[in-house]
Amino acid sequence: MEKKQKKFLTVAPFECAWRDDLRFREAGRGCVAFDAFAHNDVTIVFREQAGSQHYHYKRDNSPHYTVIIGSHRNKRLHIEVDGKTVVDVAGVDLYCSSTFQSYWISIFDGLISIGKGRYPFQNLVFQWLDSNPNCSVQYVGLSSWDRHVGYRNVNVLPLTQNHISLWKHVDCGEYEGVDDELEENLGHYENWGLENFLENWELSDVFFIVGKEEKAVPAHKVILAASGFHDFSSSHEDVFHLQDVSYAVLHALLEYIYTGRTMIPESHLSSLKALSLRFEVMTLVKKCEEMIERFKLNKKLFNSGKNVEISYQSSRLPCITVFPYRLPIDVKRLNHFCSTGEYSDVDIYIEGHGFVARSHKIILGLWSYPFTKMFTNGMSESASSKVCFKDVCFEAFSIMLDFMYGGEVYKEDSVLVDTLLLQLLFLADQFGVTLLHQECCKTLLEHLAEDSVCPILQVVSSVPSCKLIEETCERNFSMHFDYCTTASFDFVMLEEATFGNILQHPDLTVTCEERVLNAILLYCSQSKELNAWDRVDEKLLNSTPELIFGERLKSLDLFLSFVRFSLLPHEVLKKLERSNLSRHITTFLQMVKEAISFLEFGFTGPDKDLNVRFQHRRSSFRELQFICDGDSNGLLYFAGTSYGEHRWVNPVLSKRVSITASSPVSRYTDPKVLVSRTYQGTSFAGPRVEDGRNTAWWMVDIGHDHQLMCNYYTLRQDGSRTFVRCWNFQGSLDGKNWSNLRVHENDETICKPGQFASWPIIGPNALLPFRFFRVVLTEPTTDVANPWSFCICFFELYGYFR
């Protein structure tokens, strides 16, 4: 940790303090920890270059992040990117005080984390991920708004990925007293890693007797062997006697291996070179030779008496800072030792599977502080060469082990099945392997889909370090509420707090409010058969709420308050008022009567504007209902009116929608025709070869800001007799990855020129919103002369639009 600043620093209103030491070691990655007192607006600025004393973020046109704790008169947390507000939240546990309070803020490739307390990465309060991260911010400014702010104990910490400074996954809050040794280690964040084991007797399995004083210096065989030291293979010695070598020279050699750098007097260079050559640490031999040559060329340096700094330069990219990179360690040899078990000192077993690997305690320990504690604190594993884990997935543990030896998730493991990825995430969290945990989180977020949201939520809701993933999944669930509560029964397994968060989420999107009511009843009854309110109502004829809902009856009372009954049709509310649900459940009856009163008489209470039960959901869909072939109720007609703003204009010409075909635009392949509402005698999409197969298609893009849950679509045959029989109707979010909405095989519906035909979309995919839609030919048409021409002159879509 950087040396603590004892000086008390006061920042005047509208000023900013910049110091040379307030700078991230690596651009875009770092953490600032500090104590502050203020009545409001503790403001921290992160820039690519330091500013001036009179700098203020409101006047800054250069790239920067600004974090304001206690904004809006000490009520909110505020984050700005380049002067634009991206976060403005209330209710988070971050407030200023007239006494000093401890805070920390970290930035890691656009992930901004904010917390409270002395120890960074503990007590995480808020996280936000920048989708377009600024990886160049490096300087930290301490600023204020309209009142003085006091700062002290300001420290900038590095965010290297393999030490305990990122060990936010271990929750120490449950223990009344903190282990002294743990607290001491938590206070030395940047020392965690292999350098923490330099000349440390813990986990050592070899030592040197050095110099005439016969000083004992511990080390670790697998680390030395991966750096050189090839004579280990033949000697199998645990003790090396080096009477002709001074401790200073041996220390320099070990320091170079364990930390990637060392300092040594010029007079010791030859001895260091000789020792490095003896143990075949060839990267250090080369460095010593280069230094000696420099001294020969500049003889004035001979008598300088200064220490020489030697650093290992990795061939890897500068951003690769994890073990074993940035160290003079041969990764291939290290992986060889992992696979063969050479120099191993612990055998790993998993209950129910048996033997897993012959491993090395030092490798496990430098990645995982829980492993280090296990092997050094007197537990049974400390003295044993065998460790057996219970309730651990073998495949996930094997991937974690490979990661510890190689420093990365190998390509074949990077695309993992959802279940294995979740198990790996849980394992990384359990053992505090932070970088692996981050890689799992990143992969989950990148491949998050509606089908995987529920299984992920079931796992991460119990893991405090996965708050960002949990919130992202809750938002994804809420935005695809209809699909997530219909396509699978898994959502009833969610924790009640999680389901409650989804029901209250501001982005909750539904096609009708009745689906919210049905989902709540299904969740609380935990019965697949009771998937609609009328079925529950029928069940209550011969049962009671206590029998149907069991332990979740209390939750039902709470969740019913999240239903916006006033958005239901008046006739549905009247049915609910007369239902068995109202007769047996008091809360239900009260909610229904309140909604009826609101629709019939309005609401005159003092909190009318504040009560969300009487407000429309901000992210709801508009229903575009199919009535008959060729009607004016579809999306493409609606787009032609600028979504109800004026009289109809061809939406392709007004650029409200875009239509493309499998063949180039021509006289008879004209996108405007499909939405023109004028019959066209010849209109076709020509053949195309994709993935080695013939096909033809028409595709509609409804626009960047719009999506449709399609439940019906219409086609019209042109004047030809080229009738389609086998084709797919598909939807996509990006125009590249397609989902089948309806598969047509030997469909003989279209059998006349100029004929309309419409089909419903059923199943879970009808509840997924898409931006792109297409009809794609999968088999030849009935026309032998033009078997791969898709001949239609009209296309229309229906469903729920936003």
Question: How many other β-carbons are positioned within 10 Å of the β-carbon of residue 752?
Answer: 10
767 pLDDT tier (thresholds 50, 70, 90): confident
Provide, rounded to the nearest whole percent, the portion of the chain with pLDDT above 70: 87
pLDDT at 164 over 80: no
pLDDT of residue 98: 64
pLDDT tops 70 at residue 187 = no
The pLDDT of residue 774 is 97
Residue 533: which pLDDT band, with cuts at 50, 70 and 90? very high
- What percent of the chain clears pLDDT 90, i.e. is strictly above it? 39
Residue 609 reports pLDDT greater than 80: no
Provide the 8-state DSSP code for 687: P
Distance CA 785, CA 782 (A): 9
Domains annotated on the chain, with CATH: 9-159 (2.60.120.560), 194-311 (3.30.710.10), 510-619 (no CATH), 622-801 (2.60.120.260)
Dist CA 514 CA 496 (whole Å): 20
**Measured distance CA(638)–CA(677) in Å, rounded:** 13
Q: What is the pLDDT of residues 76-125, one digit of tens each?
A: 888 999 888 999 887 666 666 667 788 899 998 889 999 887 667 677 88
Helix axes 418-431, 394-406, angle to 10 degrees: 60
Angle between helices 467-479 and 496-503 (to 10 degrees): 50
pLDDT at 239 over 90: no
Q: Which residue is associated with the tokens 């992202």? A: 472
CA distances from 284 to 250, 269, 291, 318 (A): 12, 10, 11, 20
Amino acid at 639: A
Tens of pLDDT along 270-314?
Answer: 999 999 998 889 989 998 988 888 877 776 555 556 788 888 876
CB 117 within 8 A of CB 109: no
Split at pLDDT 50, 70, 90, the class of 161 is very low
Please give the pLDDT value at position 417.
Answer: 58
pLDDT at 137 over 80: yes
What average pLDDT does range 402-417 have in this prediction?
Answer: 67
Report d(CA 47, CA 66) in Å as an integer: 9
Lowest-pLDDT range of 13-27, 204-218, 448-462, 615-629: 615-629
pLDDT tops 90 at residue 717 = yes
The pLDDT value given to residue 757: 96
H or E stretch covering 434: helix 434-446
Query: Where are the strands (E) in 15-63, listed by range?
Result: 16-23, 29-37, 42-47
Q: Which residue has the higher pLDDT, 205 or 98?
A: 205
> With 90 as the cut, is the pLDDT of residue 447 above it?
no
Q: What pLDDT does 170 receive?
A: 30
Average pLDDT over residues 741-752: 95
In the prediction, which pLDDT does 618 show? 65
More confident: 759 or 567: 759
Q: How far is CA 200 from CA 1, 203, 217, 362, 601, in A?
A: 19, 8, 8, 11, 79
Whether residue 258 contacts residue 312, with contact meaning beta carbons closer than 8 Å, is answered with no
pLDDT digits (tens, 9 = 90+) for 348-404: 999 989 999 999 999 998 888 888 888 877 666 666 788 898 888 898 899 999 888
pLDDT at 411 over 70: no
Decide: 427 and 435 in contact? Cβ < 8 Å.
no
Lowest mean pLDDT among 166-175, 270-279, 474-483: 166-175
pLDDT of amino acid 697: 96
> Does position 234 have pLDDT exceeding 50, yes or no?
no
Is the pLDDT at 760 greater than 70? The verdict is yes
Summarize the confidence of residues 59-70 as an average pLDDT.
87
| pLDDT surpassing 90 at residue 518 | yes
Question: Using an 8 Å Cβ cutoff, are 546 and 557 in contact?
Answer: no
- Other beta carbons within 10 angstroms of residue 296's beta carbon come to 10
Q: What is the DSSP string of 707-742?
A: -EEEEEEEEEE-SS-----SEEEEEESSSSSEEEEE
Pull the structure tokens for residue 208.
């040197």
Rounded CA separation 318/326 (Å): 9
Q: Residues 672-691: pLDDT tens digits?
A: 999 998 899 999 999 999 98
User: Does 671 have pLDDT greater than 90?
Assistant: yes
pLDDT score of 6 more than 60: no
Question: What pLDDT does residue 606 have?
Answer: 52
Separation in Å, CA 769 to CA 256, 576, 740: 57, 30, 13
**pLDDT confidence of residue 604:** 55
Write the CA distances from 598 to 560, 575, 586, 763, integer angstroms: 17, 16, 18, 35
The secondary structure of 537-555, three-state, reads: HHHCCCCCHHHHHHHHHHH
What does DSSP assign to residue 95?
-
Residue 267: its pLDDT value, please? 84
Round to whole Å and give the CA distance between 53 and 51: 7
On the question of pLDDT at 1 being above 50, the answer is: no
Indicate the average pLDDT of the chain. Answer: 84
- Report whether pLDDT(174) > 50: no
pLDDT, tens digit, 9 for 90 and up, residues 315-352: 554 444 567 777 888 888 888 888 898 888 889 999 98
Q: What is the pLDDT of residue 180?
A: 40
* pLDDT of 570 higher than 90: no
Virtual torsion, Cα 551, 552, 558, 563, nearest 10 deg: -160
Angle between helices 418-431 and 453-460 (to 10 degrees): 20
Q: What is the dihedral of CA 528, 529, 531, 534, to 10 degrees?
A: -160
Query: What is residue 206's predicted lDDT score, i.e. its pLDDT?
Result: 86
